[in-house]
Amino acid sequence: MCGIVGGIGKLSHQVIASNLNLLSRRGPDSQNYIQLENLLTLGASRLAMTDPHPRSNQPMVDSLSGNVLIFNGEIYNYKSIRKNLSSHGITFKTDSDTEVLLNALTLWGVEVIPKLEGMFAFVFFNKKQNELIMARDYLGKKPLFFYINKSELFFSSQIKFIRKFLKSYSLDMNSITMFLKLGYVIDPVTMYNEIKSVLPGQFINIDLNNISAFKKYSYIPLAIQTPSDKSLAETIEDSLIERVEGHNSFALSLSGGVDSTILASVSAKLNLPVTSFSMKFTKSDKSKFSLDAEHANQIANKLGIKHMTVDIMGPEKVEAYLNEFSKSMDEPNSNPTGLAMMQLYSSISEQGFRLAITGDGADEIFGGYERFRLTNRYGQYLKFNSKTFKKIINDKDPGFKKLQNLCVLMLSSKSKESWLYWHLISGDHFVKSILPGFSDLKFELFGDELSHLFGDRKSAFLLYRDLRIWLTMESNKKLDRISMWHSIEARSPFQSENVIGNGLKFMSVSKFKYGKKDILYTLFPDLEQLPTIPQKTGFISPLGYWLRNNPQLVMESMSYIQETFPLDKKLSKSLIESPKNYNYDKMKILWNIISLSFWKMNQN
């Protein structure tokens, strides 16, 4: 696990040499950079997980070809690839996946990328061709940003590193619109017009003789396209094993829900060296915020797993954690669970763990969300492409919620709004009030590439778009940034390419009729014997309680954001009063504005 950086141009070497410490949280074990003959500079900061010896530090150079690799992530099937490479006469000096990937790219080129199983963002320099390959895993578990013009190129795991390279940069107003509506931004855009992201499931070929003529290519992992014949339960177990193999301890984020309970149960059955962690909101004004910890503690006790409970911060610490969360994300994100996760991973780090396992991803494969059940039940009959329906959905007027529900169920599955509706925080009517030059939201709609599996089932399109957009560009971003801020590698077995492939195959055969992750109870019958929360779908945070007890934070954030974006006084007042009025829809918008203000303050 690492942070990577590189560039070509007059300032690249100087910027990298002076600022490599910016990547130290992503890689505290070593930092290094090299400058090649063509003035290309490559740097890396390493969190040593596989073959944790100096011999596997980066940048890694192949002595025969002169090719160079900087690589952030883990390749879980690297041993089988290594065996194949050995049959071609290649010998190895390390036991790392980095050396395997370097040799695989040298021998096979980009053809090996769809065969990789894992999480990765890498940049590979081919000396003979004088070209770069920048690539990212299919679910965007690892970040990679870049700036490019006719004569300059700069790339990094962190946006703030690229900003050091730029003489000037400007806010992307479409990204502001996107954030105000969704609470995050969807790749490839960032909050800056000049900086883009390599897309999940994409590699970019850059001829260093003609930088501006770069080419982009998309891919689907082979393990998703052609699932194995293994049973789904066996695939899930294998995925957990390969993510903890070789480690003498690891932390498990145990929420009490189905996904993390399966991982706890398998860990106990296999006698893996696990310590589980859960969160308890003892200072909240509602008992539901302690429910996770109560169930998690009971599950751990029944399984004989060591368990630790983290007491999440009270209102007096919210500002400090929000500031830290904003810095760690490098992009604005308004999911309040991020603050809880910050404290969780801080505690995991304090206990000396460098590896954490999470249950993220199961909901998006096995239909865990209520929206999947509703769409599956009601959304298969009428399929229109009405502009009126789309406008009603985009406006998101709270007074027309029932009409909006009806419209989204009647829209065609290929419509952006059929996915967008379930994720909107605010609608066009609000965004227009804060952005004078408002224009319609533009973003790429991912998730159609496996439409041959879905038939015409709208629920299947919703599920897979959740996986390709929300899981990839909200949940995985948050997990990577927070875990790496604490120098912890977070791995999610349900996001294995093999689990996704086998899971989608099962869901397709059953015509996507399963919901609420019912299949997982069939695969792991011991769940019935454990005090699992059946409809648990993720972390929850006491947002209203935090806001009601932080009036100064609310007022200062609103005041700060209005320096840049005008906000109608009547609307502003209704947002400020939403916590005491227990209006959760407006509280989410208020938190969105607060999050944007903290992000903006931390850009200075």
- Per-run averaged pLDDT (10 residues), the chain, 604 residues: 88 91 84 91 86 80 95 95 96 93 97 97 97 97 96 95 93 93 96 97 96 94 93 95 94 94 96 95 70 90 96 91 95 95 96 96 90 74 69 74 74 82 89 80 84 76 92 96 96 97 88 78 89 68 91 93 83 93 93 95 84
pTM for this model (two decimals): 0.94
Q: What is the DSSP letter of 39?
A: S
- Burial of residue 352, with CB atoms counted within 10 A of its CB: 0-12 exposed, 13-18 middle, 19 or more buried: exposed
Amino acid at 194: E
Q: In what helix (H) or strand (E) does residue 561 lie, and over which residues does it extend?
A: helix 551-561
Q: Using omega within 30 degrees of 0 as the cis cutoff, is the peptide bond preceding 59 cis?
A: yes
Residue 146 vs residues 5, 6, 35, 149, 265: alpha-carbon distances, Å: 9, 9, 18, 10, 41
Distance CA 380, CA 382 (A): 6
Instruction: Map out the domains of the chain as residue ranges.
Output: 2-219, 225-365+466-529
Task: Name the CATH topology of 225-365+466-529.
Answer: Rossmann fold (3.40.50)
Q: What is the DSSP letter of 467?
A: I
Who's near 340: CB < 8 A, 6+ residues apart? 279, 312, 539, 541
Contact 389, 417 (CB under 8 A): yes
Domains 2-219 and 225-365+466-529 share a fold: no
The overall longest dimension of the chain from CA atoms, in Å, is: 73
Distance CA 582, CA 190 (A): 33
Of the CA atoms within 13 Å of residue 581, those in its CB half-sphere come to 12
- Architecture of the structural domain at 2-219: 4-Layer Sandwich (3.60)
Picking from 443, 442, 385, 391, the residue whose alpha carbon sits closest to that of residue 410 is 385
Q: What is the DSSP letter of 451?
A: H
68-75/60-61 β-pairing: antiparallel
CA angle 5, 114, 494 (to 5 degrees): 90
Contact 355, 275 (CB under 8 A): no
Distance CA 40, CA 13 (A): 8
End-to-end CA distance of the chain: 28
Q: Compute how many other C-beta atoms are within 10 angstroms of the C-beta atom of residue 11.
A: 16
pLDDT computed for residue 24 by the predictor: 86
Distance CA 478, CA 471 (A): 10
Q: In what helix (H) or strand (E) does residue 86 lie, and over which residues does it extend?
A: helix 78-87
Picking from 307, 373, 325, the residue whose alpha carbon sits closest to that of residue 517 is 373
- Burial of residue 84, with CB atoms counted within 10 A of its CB: 0-12 exposed, 13-18 middle, 19 or more buried: middle
